Structure 1
Amino acid sequence: MNRITAAALAGAAIVALVAAPGSAQSVDAYPQTRSTDTTDTIFGERIADPYRWLENDVRTDKEVAAWVDAQNVVTDAYLAQLPATRWFKTELAELIDYERFGIPAKAGDRYFYSYNSGLMNQSQYFVRDGWNGEGRLLIDPNTWSADNATALADTAPSKSGKFLAYAIQDGGSDWRTIKVLDVDSGEEMGDEIQWAKFTGISWLGDEGFFYSRFPETEGGQDFQSLNYNQKVYYHRLGTPQSADQLIYETPQAKEQGHGLSVTDDGRWGFIYSSTGTDNRNELRAIDLTRRDSQGWRAREIVTGFDNEWSPIASTGDTVYFMTNKDAPRYRIVRADLTQPTLEWEEVVPEGDQPISGASIIGDKLVVELMQDASSRAVYYDLDGNRTGELDLPSIGSIGGLGGEAGDPETFYSFTSFNQPGAIYRLNVDTGETQVFAQPEVAFSPDDYAVEQVFYNSKDGTRVAMFIVRAKDSTGPAPTLLYGYGGFNASMTPGFSATRLAWLKAGGTFALANIRGGGEYGKEWHDAGRLANKQNVFDDFIAAGEYLKANGYTTPEGLAIQGGSNGGLLVGAVVNQRPDLIDAANAAVGVMDMLRFDRWTAGRYWVDDYGYPSKEADFEVLRAYSPYHNIRSGTDYPPVLVTTADTDDRVVPGHSFKYTAALQAADVGDEPHLIRIETRAGHGSGKPTDKVIDEYGDVLAFLAYHTGLEVPPR
């Protein structure tokens, strides 16, 4: 975190922390925040925005930088005095200190995977020559920067495994620089791609790869300017980026984003176009075996942004797709793309459980299903006849299961709340499973129980919730309730050292599968977006009420937490039910719902939130926007806001403005603080030491204000 400088002290309020023995610490004075008379009149309503100046980039605006420093001084001093801060940071360091492997990617006879020995700030990247080969280090991001905030963001081996393209992320930003290694020598080639963002890397054999990029931003605006005019390019190895071939763009529709993926057999390239974050897209196909003097020609497969269409794999002329057209819980279809008129043949129909993914491995179609937010994997032949199911040990989540037609080998991970991700090698023909990596951790998974309950929301909708606690737990305990509720994202069981630290301290953890996510398909998502967004907050509030009414948590022991869209969730719920919540952590949240579409990726979110410029959407957004609905004159629970100075996904101005408004309002004497990390973004790429430091602070704050007393060490 930043430490205050002498220059930053000028104009900052005198800060004093008072703490009586055995009582909650309080903030005697917050740093002064300049308030202006900035207002907008929107659809006849006068909207005050007194802290708009805090939207400015902290890297270039000295006043904003001084405000950040002053806030961090107050927050750092407060957190340092909490009795459990040191305990949680020590515990987190022990819980994170275990070997972690990534799911191997197979290319030719080579296997590529990430590795972290435990407390490495960034994971390394290895290759094996053959299954029985020794791991050979290819990339060590820990050598890239002094503060370890430069990360390996993505990797893509070429078809034969001869080359490796990889993406570099600096300071947590969404911007990527793509480079290429010669795998035999480990030497870096001269290829370098700039201004890549929200892109995959799809190889065409060993010759080159497809990627997506945006135009270079104007000076100093790379962390704030809107992302328009994304284009797809082809880069041939050994040539400069300036020579890259433009594959697809829509200058007449600058809001459209585009990506290109290549099928495993190298036959087809699919251009995926969308206008936002909703799962609706157009799809075009390129026969990569046919190229004339004008390059490749794209054929329209699906036009109109009405449904989701995701290519799975191809077997010659026939391509398999996953779609929610006429199937809110998805189905799998196929078509011969060489025919002049496409005829869609259904292979796997929609069922009661949503399809969350599919791939062709060997001669099997492997379909992943979501059963009450937990994973299943079912085998079919290529005509859609069910042939078996992957045996899983318990409630949990699957990752991986990629592969290609003709090769029965695949890898997958399995994780749950009490089980770090183990990685397995599977032969889908024989069903034989081998352990590739089984973590050895500093706790016994059997000491913790995972249960799933169902409760009714305000409108009677049945909502699922996972509850995790020690098996020998008796009676209520301070409970950390997490939620997200948006963008069709499913919240499934998974291991987290931070959650385990809360459990080891004696607390209970709960995860509510509220509307807006994808746990039950398109209808569940639609029920929590746009005009239905209030359902998300109602579901989360009902989860908190259930935990208190049924004796899971203590009367004053409910902490809530969420990040990004989940940070919005926390801010809105604190405004709507401050009496229910006993402590809150709103992380990297979208807090100004009237201006979110003005920065970086914010414009994509209109699919879930709506357009502030449209009156009907504005009325909905105005009603729940955290920044605009703080209830002065009402006692609020303690709130810790967390963000980062270089977050270019949800710009930190959201959190800055919300915190300034919260500190200025008459909302009681509990602390309302903001913790602002430096050289960090929305979350990805954050070095391990910063993760330990940040979450140690957050857990200590929530523990203190819910009465969770950590055991002696």
Structure 2
Amino acid sequence: MVARLALAAALALTAAPLAAQDTDADDPYIWLEEIQGERALAKVDQWNADTEAVLTVQPEYPVARAWAKQILDDTRQIAMPDAIMGDQVTNLWRDADNPRGLWRIASLDSYMAGTPEWRVLIDVDQLGRDEGKSWVWHGANCLAPDYTRCLVSISAGGTDADVVREFDITSGQFVEGGFTLPEAKSNVAWYDQDTLFVGTDEGEGSLTDSGYPRLVKLWQRGTDFASARQVAEGEQADISVSGFSVLDGDKRWRFINRSPSFWTNEFQLVKDDGTTVALPLPEDAEFEAVLDGHVIAKLNSPLAARNREAQPGMLVAWPLEDIAAGETPKPLIVFEPSETQAVEEVAASEHRLWVKVLDDVSGKLIEVSPGEPGWFTREMDLPDNSTIQIAETTGKGDTAFITVESMLTPPTLYAVPSEGAPVAIASEPAQFDASRFTVEQKFATSKDGTKVPYYLVRPKGVEGPLPTLIHAYGGFRAAQTPKYLTAEPYRSGPLALFWVESGNAYVLANIRGGGEYGPRWHEDALREKRQNSFDDFHAVADDLVANRLTRPGRIAASGRSNGGVLVGAVANQRPDLYGAIISGSPLIDMRRYNKLLAGASWMAEYGNPDVPEDWAFMKEWSPYQNMSDEPGVPAAFYYLSTLDDRVHPGHARKAAAKHEAYGQTFYYHEYREGGHSVGADHEEDAKRAALLLAYLNREIGSGAE
């Protein structure tokens, strides 16, 4: 572990290097995939203890842990709207006294006035104590337009699988005899007030290879689920099948969605008589919203529109009444981003469409209004050079609730009406003196000439190379936008703040695979093109070195989930460049990832390792297969959750075992709860931030040379 193993212990676990591993039989650590296996958990406990023994005695650890907990539990945080329900708003509030949260409701008027009068609906901590469960809040789906009945989802320990129960807003109680579903990765939505769309685990044949529902049924109130009528069925190799409904004015539109792969969908409109008709959306289009009787989608490939060809990244709309009547109209282009823009979020209010775009990774909010012959757009007046996120929109009236922040500016929540100026409702307090730091957006040149943007934060007036933490993701169309330093990088709490406060540099790299520049940015890192995202990351690191902002060996690469593939690959490819690797809830063994939990659902992103042609390119960068027993590899820190039922904990465990066999320095922290997001509460998030800070200081130092 962090102390070099004795030779005998190393030999006990050593196997032949697995660079050429092509079969499961070649993997000596497959036993670590037994999630709750006694032997596996004993090894996890040993690694956890060894890591804590080294890092918790570092002088910065107790200070950082206490500071992180204070920031995360700050009662001055914004009470973000979970949902705007008519003239009311709901929020989940977490603080030191309520680590799992209070789900509560207030009038929209009091909320917008900045003085919300909250009524607690569910005390998640108390519910857990009453029922002897470690409940984690997963959200509530309340039936519009009355919003009196909700489907509440709670998870034992934070897994993706959850329990669904019907809740009555008026009484503040779960509905006796109401809709309930046992723990499963269910797809559940309202059909009407007495009927649900349900896809759930019903035993053999009911789930896809990815572990999600394969069947959709209509379940009537007061009946046994066994009598529910099946209305849709997918294939075993599909990702999932689900039903959902959208209220557009007074009209409820209902849909079925079959997802043959992660990036393809087949939508059907459920007509009033219960029959279905296929929507004309291309398989690779993204269903975004319903507004003014139109279904709105984002394109990922060209499509003939009414008067010209619509290009990838554009928003287009089809009239649903025409589709219901059996017609196949051409779509209307409703929004066209510029060359430097990408549509990242879309939400509908009563009469308006709200579109958040990235323009060279800076956020802008666009209002789109239906009309003939075309829809009308205007940019809303919000601070420039910021990260903007759509929090919620109103179902009655046309107001969008937007957060605006930057790396050095804490979030502010605005109510943005269709008519009138944006109004600041609440702001988080500054947690540090921003005048001490600078933020720059820079561009590196990747191996194929592509310009790759990145944000650099460092202390003002500091000369010379600095230890530098680079965080990136690079996959699944997920853009990485700069957030306030107390929230960077993702799931590591205020680690970035602690790092720059210590005199170091932090970088957010916008590498290919994400959605920063629309579909092309993602497609350039798909499958056999995955190396582009790794080359982009190297390019950012090399650019920092070339400009004497850092130096080789004092760079930490950070990534989470898909980012585990990223940091594992870059560490293997350029051990000369990186001195530390932070790998959270990581994918690592790409030879077996499709056989572990939800892994089969991501084959459209990475490739299918069981197909020789795919494995031929995947084996070139799969982190696990390319780990080396050579000296001088970067010291990795793996953090994850035993209860992660999305990315299997076996990935990180097996990588750790290999480091151990090779006698390499590594750190490991597997939390028993938390699911894929790892931390089930702020206590664990604070601990992780402190451990990571101590690890970075130990491995790549702190402060200018």
Q: Quick check: TM above 0.5?
A: yes
Checking the alignment, whether the CA contact within 8 Å between 1:584 and 1:702 is kept in structure 2 is no
SS of 2:702 mapped into structure 1: coil
Checking the alignment, whether the CA contact within 8 Å between 2:291 and 2:353 is kept in structure 1 is no
1:642 aligns with 2:639: yes
The verdict on how the C-alpha distance between 1:416 and 1:169 changes in structure 2, with shifts beyond 3 A counting, is farther
**Counterpart Cα distance in 2 of 1:445 and 1:198:** 44
Q: 1:339 aligns with which of 301, 319, 325?
A: 325
Partner of 1:702: 696
1:111 deviation in Å? 1.5
The verdict on how the C-alpha distance between 1:40 and 1:104 changes in structure 2, with shifts beyond 3 A counting, is closer
1:693 deviation in Å? 0.8
The amino acid across from 2:330 in the alignment is W
Checking the alignment, whether the CA contact within 8 Å between 1:377 and 1:390 is kept in structure 2 is yes
The amino acid across from 1:76 in the alignment is E
Q: 2:622 aligns with which of 625, 640, 648?
A: 625
Q: 2:122 aligns with which of 123, 139, 149?
A: 139
The amino acid across from 1:418 in the alignment is L
1:262 aligns with 2:238: no
Give matches, 1:266-281, under 5 Å. Answer: 266-278=251-263, 280-281=264-265
Give matches, 1:542-557, under 5 Å. Answer: 542-557=539-554
TM-score (norm 2): 0.87
Question: How big is the alpha-carbon RMSD for the aligned residues of Structure 1 and Structure 2?
Answer: 3.1
Partner of 2:189: 202
**Counterpart Cα distance in 1 of 2:617 and 2:9:** 33
TM-score (norm 1): 0.86
Give matches, 1:110-149, under 5 Å. Answer: 110-117=88-95, 120-132=98-110, 134-145=117-128, 149=134
**Counterpart Cα distance in 2 of 1:425 and 1:87:** 37
Q: 2:563 aligns with which of 566, 575, 585?
A: 566
The verdict on how the C-alpha distance between 1:45 and 1:138 changes in structure 2, with shifts beyond 3 A counting, is closer
**Counterpart Cα distance in 2 of 1:119 and 1:571:** 38
1:268 deviation in Å? 1.1
1:370 aligns with 2:358: yes
**Counterpart Cα distance in 1 of 2:556 and 2:505:** 10
The amino acid across from 1:521 in the alignment is G
Checking the alignment, whether the CA contact within 8 Å between 2:200 and 2:212 is kept in structure 1 is no
SS of 2:366 mapped into structure 1: strand
1:284 aligns with 2:268: yes
Checking the alignment, whether the CA contact within 8 Å between 1:119 and 1:688 is kept in structure 2 is no
Partner of 1:230: 214
**Counterpart Cα distance in 2 of 1:211 and 1:492:** 35
1:475 deviation in Å? 4.0
Checking the alignment, whether the CA contact within 8 Å between 1:483 and 1:562 is kept in structure 2 is yes
Q: 1:438 aligns with which of 427, 432, 457?
A: 427
Partner of 2:334: 348
The verdict on how the C-alpha distance between 1:117 and 1:49 changes in structure 2, with shifts beyond 3 A counting, is closer
1:90 deviation in Å? 2.2
The amino acid across from 2:49 in the alignment is V
Give matches, 1:138-217, under 5 Å. Answer: 138-145=121-128, 149-159=134-144, 160-190=146-176, 191-197=179-185, 199=187, 201-216=188-203
Give matches, 1:528-677, under 5 Å. Answer: 528-665=525-662, 671-677=665-671
Q: 2:675 aligns with which of 678, 681, 692?
A: 681
State the identity as a percent: 27
Checking the alignment, whether the CA contact within 8 Å between 1:100 and 1:118 is kept in structure 2 is no
Partner of 1:425: 415
SS of 2:619 mapped into structure 1: helix
Structure 1: give runs of 5+ residues left out of the alignment. 1-14, 19-25
SS of 1:660 mapped into structure 2: helix
**Counterpart Cα distance in 1 of 2:429 and 2:20:** 57
Checking the alignment, whether the CA contact within 8 Å between 1:284 and 1:301 is kept in structure 2 is yes
1:708 deviation in Å? 1.4
1:179 deviation in Å? 1.2
Partner of 2:306: none
Q: 2:86 aligns with which of 97, 108, 112?
A: 108
Aligned residues: 667
The amino acid across from 2:267 in the alignment is L
SS of 1:686 mapped into structure 2: coil
Deviations 1:406-447 (A, max 9, x none): 62133222232233432222221x133333332124324454
Q: Which has the larger displacement, 517-526 or 379-388?
A: 379-388
Q: 1:298 aligns with which of 273, 276, 285?
A: 276
Checking the alignment, whether the CA contact within 8 Å between 2:514 and 2:521 is kept in structure 1 is yes
Partner of 1:359: 347
SS of 2:150 mapped into structure 1: strand
The amino acid across from 2:455 in the alignment is F
Deviations 1:116-141 (A, max 9, x none): 34674223211114523621111221
Q: Which has the larger displacement, 107-116 or 206-215?
A: 206-215
Partner of 1:12: none
The amino acid across from 2:141 in the alignment is A
Partner of 2:45: 69
Q: 1:393 aligns with which of 383, 388, 391?
A: 383
Partner of 1:92: 68
SS of 1:91 mapped into structure 2: helix
The amino acid across from 2:231 in the alignment is I
Deviations 1:379-418 (A, max 9, x none): 2321344442122223333222644676213322223223
1:100 deviation in Å? 3.6
Deviations 1:12-45 (A, max 9, x none): xxx9x87xxxxxxx67689779649799999988
Partner of 2:290: 313
1:363 deviation in Å? 3.1
